Structure 1
Amino acid sequence: MPLNTEIETAEGWLRGRQYREFLSWRGIPFAKPPMGQLRFRAPQPVTPWAGARDALRWGFAPPQMKLATMQGVGKYQAMSEDCLTLNVLAPAEPSSKPRPVMFYIHGGGYLLGSSATLVYGGQSLVERGDVVYVSLNYRLGALGYLDFSQFSSHQRQFDSNLGLRDQIAALEWVQRNIAAFGGDPENVTIFGESAGGNSVVTLLSTPSAKGLFHQAIAQSANAGVCYGKERADKWARIFTDHLGADSEHAVEALEDTSVHKLGKAGLEFMRDALQADPGTLGYAPVVDGDLLPLAPLDAFAAGTTHKVPLIIGTNDREAALFTRFGDDGMPLSVDSINKMFANTQPELLAHMIGGYSRYPDKRALEDICGDAMFWKPSIDCAAGHSAVAPTYSYRYDYSTRLLDVLGMGATHATELIPVFGLADTTFGKAFTTLGGQRGMRGVSHRMQSHWLGFARDGKPMSTWPQYNPHDRLTMIFKDHDKVVKDPRPHRRLAWEGFRGYR
């Protein structure tokens, strides 16, 4: 039977809409609004509703800088702490069997982002792959990724890893409800980029997420972004200092401060945290001994990640984007490199730097930064996970003339254009104004074929072999894709001995 736009979920009826060949439901709550006494608490179950609830518009964006919520010229998405919503997009055409589910987690450094961003629409994936696409909002910044549990008492509890808990709650919603939308709860692929990629490797390392997904794709995951309680507690105190509250008054300040003032304090906190610890994000998951017993890099090394197939990879020139547009958290100078590796044995640091022949010029600093924050952690994850489940490694090298002229090449996040099939959209065409649209269409077709095949069958197309730490076969996406054995071995060997740098 064809899907109807009115769907009954475990929490109540939802009213969506049809446009073109798609059925869409937006702004679906998967947890109670985390406001008032629920601020800084784990997500709580939604209160069921009577009648059909409209699911026609995007939910609120998580509180963040207004500029990051832009949806057009002079148009911004409204923000609120009441942001725990998700969206479902499905083919209007009926299917005789449940469809694979692709569950996307947006990036933005755990500080920015929204599922309503046009890039993440998912229409091309749904159309090409006959899948059900789900995207979500989760708490960001101090509301989602600072750990204030040191201030907990019998009267007031503060939970850790709130953004991660939000993602788990959304995946639990999928298990309860996605069959009503034509999706297969036994075939869910999580995928994400940047902080979303880091979320994927963190979910793979979170025991309570077991069984909630069946494949995983981590794009440009900075898998080292997960910190211990000592650093988390220090950062929480720095943040409350910026609220003007000592430890005795921290609870009152965290409960009563407006979202606007929390955001202002968060920017001041980020400045201090990044100056003190170059290469960190400031906002990140925490090894709390409860929800997350091991940092992802340690879980991958120990072989304790969930035994599901994994695609993981990075882009050729990850850090070039941050050189161009600025990011104080990126160690893009000799001083910040030295500070980031201050606790490293000098001979180990010298060996690593020796892998970059042009050090200390700008390109070498970019390469070191990109490798430290994205590539090295990703190949460590690939090596560890390949011992427990099928693993596939890639590097995205495709660039357009415009990106080359700008000095960025295949930099951070540029693979989103082909993955989401955006080559022929206004956004995608902006990257090919100096040529390259035909090549972009080609790489998009091939990447989507791999991503969709993986979501359907648990493996990409047959041209992409599995990764292992012996031959390190890696798919290179370019004008003409190729599989390379151990790409950039000299740089990989330069990093031997490093188990993270934090």
Structure 2
Amino acid sequence: MLAGLCLVAAPAVAAPGNDVRPVVRTEAGSVAGVVEADSGVAAFKGIPYAAPPVGELRWRAPEPAPAWQGVRDGARFGHACLQPPQSPIGLYSGGMATPSEDCLTLNIWAPKNARGLPVMVWIHGGALVGGSSSEPMYDGTKLAQREILVVSINYRLGLLGFLAHPALSAESPRHLSGNYGLLDQIAALHWVHDNIQAFGGDPDRVTIAGESAGGLSAIALLASPLARGLFEGAIIESGYMPSYRALHEAVRGQPSGEAAGSALAEAAEISTAEELRAADPKALFKAGLATGWQPEPLIDGFVLDRQLAETFARGEQAKVPVLAGFNEGEIRSLPFLMPDAPATRQEYLGDVRRRFGERASAFLAVYPGNDPKADVMASIRDGLYGWAAQYLARQQTAAGEPAYLYYFRHSTPAQRERNLAAFHASELPYVFGQVGAAARLGPNWPRPPLTDQEAQLSDAMMGYWASFVRDGEPRAADAPRWPRFTLRQHGYLDIGEKLSPASDLKPAAFAWADGLVARRREAGRGWRLNIGFSAYPSPERPR
């Protein structure tokens, strides 16, 4: 570990215009940051935490970043990891750096005179297919002003981050493949542990945080023995915890990760590790589309010992405080997760009774179908995001750790006009302070109005998040006390038009989803998108 230098005591260099830039020494070399004039926050961008995973290093575990001479310019983000092009009309598009395979970098925002401050490591979302730490909304300046360091990381995506194949496993000393994206995240956490003190951070007070696929990643890191001891808290926003493939064998009705990767390679007329590394990623992407391959963590006995839900059920996860929650309108911006909804309540009732059989009455007690489309969306939301958040809170509480749950219902006129009220990721501008006139949001994002109410909500959420990073308890000035989730009192924070402490968040919906997962686990079956309205027909027997 580096001895560490307070930012104010670090060497400095003159930039064009005679501005003085802070320079910090990492284990691989020195990097020059840029100080924002208004806030005094220093940003260090595009710092390599691992070697570029290209050529012979493609589909290998990350290796240490090579040392460099002189002072590296930290004024610009590194490349985003390779991914399909963003849609110009997509809700979540806009602003990230150019994609490349050479992408394993991170960014740091540190407040003025930082010394021994807690650290939040942000893991971006994007379904493990897209996204980047360079997305403008993830700018860490506002959070860093709350006396924490903010680190955002890239990690390999899609087939470059999660492809398994027998030929890749055969060349591995542990006979493993896949999970490269998770190994990247773990390598980034090791880098933070070894280097963050030089930027004014405390390596023993690190909190991982992420939304969507970043939340999924944080759950996987909680479960992974390889990440143990690298963080002291976790924030999971709209995370999810389905069952996953095993690397080597078919389990829970799913072919192995290696079999899925073999089908992709065969579609691209590839059979060896050498051919995979020589292939054009675009050709592999097309083969993935043709075979239905999707990136996901794999149960490999090394990075992940068993299904994540089972790890938490056995109490084998990291024993750290957790803050977790989900949004009321998650599925409004994710229509691909939606099955077709019956047009009328009569059709809905007939459909549910026909497909659910003896369990139809229990489902209809929670989702009666008065508004069929709304109930279908709610059932998918609750089975995917709601169940994961509450399950995490319950299992961490059972393990003796503090847990805090939230339900984000706040929406804006621009969202409601587009039927996107409280949509997936809509809490992020408030968490990162992106609600004012200078908010850095994508071109298609429904912008929050410039009102005191929006600013106050963002101020409170930044306060809660930063406080949790500091000491494991979310607190905010001039805001309600966030009740701790306990096994007797299921407290949560309702984030609607105002902030309201509450208890027992959708108990019937959680009980339905939890019972479904429990039955599937007992029967040796999987739970993926066959949840909520899509749960049946599903014979619950091992296969």
TM-score > 0.5 by shorter chain? yes
With over 3 angstroms needed to count, the CA separation of the structure-2 counterparts of 1:486 and 1:264, relative to structure 1, is same
Residue correspondence of structure 1 range 44-123 to structure 2 within 5 A: 44-67=63-86, 77-91=97-111, 93-95=112-114, 97-123=115-141
C-alpha distance after superposition, 1:336-383 (max 9, x if no partner): x9xxx9xx9853466335410117721111111111211112211211
Q: Distance in 2 between matches of 1:167 and 1:297?
A: 20
The question of 1:144 aligning with 2:161 is answered: yes
Q: 1:468 aligns with which of 475, 483, 486?
A: 486
Partner of 2:374: 363
Corresponding letter in the other structure for 1:457? D
Partner of 2:461: 447
With over 3 angstroms needed to count, the CA separation of the structure-2 counterparts of 1:477 and 1:236, relative to structure 1, is same
Structure 2: runs of 5 or more not aligned: 1-5, 11-21, 343-347, 521-526, 529-543
Contact 1:189 / 1:214 at 8 angstroms: preserved in 2? Answer: yes
The question of 1:333 aligning with 2:347 is answered: no
The question of 1:286 aligning with 2:298 is answered: yes
Q: Distance in 2 between matches of 1:233 and 1:82?
A: 25
Partner of 1:238: 263
With over 3 angstroms needed to count, the CA separation of the structure-2 counterparts of 1:123 and 1:151, relative to structure 1, is closer
Shift of 1:469: 3.3
SS at match of 1:66: coil
Residue correspondence of structure 1 range 47-446 to structure 2 within 5 A: 47-67=66-86, 77-91=97-111, 93-95=112-114, 97-127=115-145, 129-149=146-166, 151-154=168-171, 159-224=177-242, 226-229=244-247, 230=250, 231=255, 232-245=257-270, 249-269=271-291, 272-273=292-293, 282-323=294-335, 327=336, 330-333=337-340, 346-348=357-359, 351-358=362-369, 361-388=372-399, 389-424=401-436, 425-427=438-440, 435=449, 437-446=451-460
Shift of 1:428: 6.0
Q: Distance in 2 between matches of 1:63 and 1:312?
A: 29
Corresponding letter in the other structure for 1:458? G
Q: Distance in 2 between matches of 1:150 and 1:470?
A: 51
Contact 2:119 / 2:148 at 8 angstroms: preserved in 1? Answer: yes
SS at match of 1:498: helix
Deviates more, 1:303-312 or 1:419-428: 419-428
Q: Distance in 1 between matches of 2:481 and 2:95?
A: 43
Contact 2:31 / 2:73 at 8 angstroms: preserved in 1? Answer: yes
- How many percent of aligned residue pairs carry the same amino acid? 32
Contact 1:190 / 1:216 at 8 angstroms: preserved in 2? Answer: yes
Q: What is the CA RMSD across the aligned residues, in angstroms?
A: 2.8
Q: Distance in 2 between matches of 1:146 and 1:73?
A: 25
Shift of 1:236: 1.1
Q: Distance in 1 between matches of 2:215 and 2:195?
A: 24
Shift of 1:426: 4.1
C-alpha distance after superposition, 1:302-361 (max 9, x if no partner): 1111111100110112111113xxx3xx143259x9xxx9xx985346633541011772
Contact 1:12 / 1:52 at 8 angstroms: preserved in 2? Answer: yes
With over 3 angstroms needed to count, the CA separation of the structure-2 counterparts of 1:446 and 1:206, relative to structure 1, is same
Shift of 1:66: 2.4
SS at match of 1:208: helix
Structure 1: runs of 5 or more not aligned: 274-281
Shift of 1:489: 2.2
SS at match of 1:495: helix
C-alpha distance after superposition, 1:466-494 (max 9, x if no partner): 11233211111122211222122232233
With over 3 angstroms needed to count, the CA separation of the structure-2 counterparts of 1:94 and 1:394, relative to structure 1, is same
Deviates more, 1:484-493 or 1:194-203: 484-493
Q: Distance in 2 between matches of 1:434 and 1:452?
A: 22
Partner of 1:481: 499
Q: Distance in 2 between matches of 1:345 and 1:362?
A: 18
Contact 1:240 / 1:253 at 8 angstroms: preserved in 2? Answer: no
With over 3 angstroms needed to count, the CA separation of the structure-2 counterparts of 1:435 and 1:48, relative to structure 1, is closer
SS at match of 1:370: helix
Deviates more, 1:73-82 or 1:282-291: 73-82
C-alpha distance after superposition, 1:29-64 (max 9, x if no partner): 111111112111100112222322222221111111
Corresponding letter in the other structure for 1:452? A
With over 3 angstroms needed to count, the CA separation of the structure-2 counterparts of 1:208 and 1:12, relative to structure 1, is same
SS at match of 2:81: coil
Contact 1:353 / 1:359 at 8 angstroms: preserved in 2? Answer: no
Corresponding letter in the other structure for 2:456? G
Q: Distance in 2 between matches of 1:73 and 1:404?
A: 20
Q: Distance in 2 between matches of 1:434 and 1:135?
A: 24
With over 3 angstroms needed to count, the CA separation of the structure-2 counterparts of 1:154 and 1:441, relative to structure 1, is closer
Q: Distance in 2 between matches of 1:406 and 1:3?
A: 50
Shift of 1:203: 0.3
Shift of 1:432: 6.9
Q: Distance in 1 between matches of 2:129 and 2:58?
A: 17
TM-score by length of 2: 0.81
With over 3 angstroms needed to count, the CA separation of the structure-2 counterparts of 1:199 and 1:442, relative to structure 1, is same
